[in-house]
Structure 1
Amino acid sequence: MTILLSDPRVAAVPLADCGEPLVALDRSFGPARARVRAGLAVRLRQAQDALPTGTGLRVVEGHRSVGVQRAIISRYAAEVARAHPAADAVERHHLTSRFVAPVAVAPHVAGAAVDLTLVDLRSGGPDGWGAELDLGTPIDATPEQSEGRCFTASVAIGPRARAHRALLGAVLGAAGLVNYPTEWWHWSWGDRYWALTTGAPAALYGPVPDRDGDRAGAAA
């Protein structure tokens, strides 16, 4: 059974923030230069190095401010309400958490999560950073927009996209990251969701202070 970020068990995980700073990922991870906790950056490098020659990770988002997180929650909650008019408040909260986390447990707010995809480094994309490979949906496609194809284990995507998702999962999983199963692009390490799903005694990363300039369009 899929554990969502709204599950009370996630919020109940103890927090023992280790105090690691946010660091900017280098240019090999794409132009966003996303900021993540230092320990997560090390593990992303391990995953990048494990990919086949000519394939790379492109990280489009890391740390997100509380203000941006709240804005995304508000925007997506309105989409959920339109798509599920018969749902009560509890069900809408549950449905919203498939795509965006409550602020208190949000992995992005802790600097513990990235949204990423795979790129072909041998072919230039529109910004010269490698063409994105087929992963079945764009990053940030909501369950409503994608008819559930954003779910990592969706069977409604083609064989090439499934193979790319499997490759992404293999290298990131080997580096210790965990996936949020309703979003193939969202992976984290050190947050409460990671701790719950791996059996760690406590989360290593809690919310970090806001800073202007965080991207305002993504999920989880």
Structure 2
Amino acid sequence: MKHIDISSPLVTSMPVEDNKDALVSVKGHLNYGPPPECSETEDCYHFLREGVLEKLLHAEQSLPSGFRFRLYEGYRSPEFQDTLFHQQLQRVVLNDPTLSPKDAYSIAAQLVAPTRTYEGLPLFPPRSSGGAVDIEIVDSNGQVIDFGMEIKDWVSVCPSLCETQALGLSPEAVKNRTMLVSVMSEAGFVNYSREWWHFSYGDQYWAYFTGHPYAYYGSVGLARA
């Protein structure tokens, strides 16, 4: 399938009219796992825009009995997002040193949104808007159900396995990915097709795919919470 990358100019050119929704923690409202990536995310990963949390709680009600959401990651500061992008850029270059700097940038940007264009202009990464979520489903024992891989393994698996409609999945994994996309879509979220776990509401990616004239959320600092 054809992907529209999260850093495509089609997406990043969408206007932003921030509605000033506060960043709020999911603590006490939604299950969440340990800090992803590294300890630098510990203070912020469980925050989302208030409107996004409301929609997540609504979507969770549509899950089969005994299943619940678990937030893997929500908000990232623009500064840490920039760090993660450059880490991914280094991995891309190590994997193929023959790539031009611009091609390496484009490949890195498929899985980690940059904070600036290749030319250096500022961007609004979905993760730093508080409108993007990485979400998984756990069973009554708190175990992640079969999605063909776990989110935490995204760095080590083939990128094609991360795609929502990856080939070669078991029937159970296909069913579970389809269920996740269905309940999230019904609640107003848009899935990023390169990552089965990544959903947007209110950010530029959401605005582009829903045809909304502008995004509700731009980059925001945690100090607003």
**Cα separation, 1, equivalents of 2:153 and 2:96:** 17
Looking at structure 2, the residues matched to 57 and 144 of structure 1 have their Cα atoms a distance apart, in angstroms, of 24
Matches for 1:142-181 after TM superposition, within 5 Å: 142=154, 145-181=157-193
Partner residue, 1:87: 99
Name 1:200's counterpart in structure 2. Answer: 212
2: distance between equivalents of 1:175 and 1:26?
21
Shift of 1:101: 0.5
What is the root-mean-square deviation in Å for CA atoms of aligned residues? 1.7
Matches within 5 A, 1:54-133: 54-103=66-115, 104-121=123-140, 123=141, 130-133=142-145
User: Contact 2:23 / 2:222 at 8 angstroms: preserved in 1?
Assistant: no
Cα deviation digits, residues 149-173 of structure 1 (max 9, x gap):
0111101221111111000001000
Aligned letter for 2:104? R
Amino acid at match of 1:101: A
> What is aligned with 1:218?
none
Unpaired stretches in structure 2, ≥5 consecutive residues? 34-44, 116-122
Task: Output the CA distance in 2 between the equivalents of 1:15 and 1:86.
Answer: 37
* Alpha carbons 1:99, 1:143 under 8 Å: kept: no
1:66 offset after TM fit, Å?
1.2
Q: How many Å apart are 1:145 and its aligned residue?
A: 2.5
Q: Taking structure 1 as reference, are residues 105 and 5 closer, same or farther at Cα in structure 2, changes over 3 Å only?
A: farther
- Aligned CA distance change for structure 1 residues 81 and 142 (closer, same or farther; 3 Å): farther
1:28 offset after TM fit, Å? 5.1
Question: Paired residues, what number?
Answer: 204
**1:5 aligned residue:** 6
Which residue does 1:215 correspond to in 2?
A: none
Q: Any runs of at least 4 consecutive aligned residues in structure 1 with deviations exceeding 2 A, and if so which?
A: 26-29, 140-147
Q: Is the 8 A contact 1:172 1:178 kept in 2?
A: yes
Q: Secondary structure at the match of 2:199?
A: strand
- In structure 2, how many angstroms separate the alpha carbons of the residues matched to 1:110 and 1:182? 19
Aligned pairs for 1:201-220 (under 5 A) are 201-210=213-222
Structure 1 distance, partners of 2:80, 2:213, is 29
> Are the aligned partners of 2:71 and 2:133 in contact in 1 as well (CA < 8 Å)?
yes
The separation in 2 between residues aligned to 1:162 and 1:176, in whole angstroms, is 21
TM-score of the two chains, using structure 2 as the length reference: 0.85
For normalisation by structure 1, the TM-score amounts to 0.87
